[in-house]
Amino acid sequence: MLLIFSSIYLFIRNQVVPKDAVKDKFQENKIREYFYGPRNNICPHVFTMEFSDIKLYKIGTPQVPDSCLPAGMVLKNTYNKILPIAPSRIIRLRKE
């Protein structure tokens, strides 16, 4: 059995295809809608706060095994529990 293979060379040109103006306008409108709202009713702005004025909260706590609880205690739903967290620079590096 004789197999014959042939190669076809395709030339690739390094040309930049210009974007469609409609796509550009659509993207611009979506970005604007994200920041200003669908009806232009949101107005984003920047303001300065003191670091000590920030209040952070964590929603949910890790599940504690029943063996760690006092005898007869039933653990409530911990997924919706809100816990305050003291702001610090270490929080930035946490990955929970």
Return the residue matching tokens 């964590």.
Answer: 58
Which pTM was predicted?
0.38
- % pLDDT > 70, the chain: 72
Question: How high is the pLDDT of residue 11?
Answer: 65
Closest CA to 44 of 54, 53, 57, 35: 35
What are the structure tokens assigned to 8, written together?
């076809």
CA distance 62 to 79: 8
So where are the chain's domains?
A: 21-87
Q: How confident is the model at residue 17 (pLDDT cuts 50, 70, 90)?
A: low
Which one is predicted more confidently, 83 or 89? Answer: 83
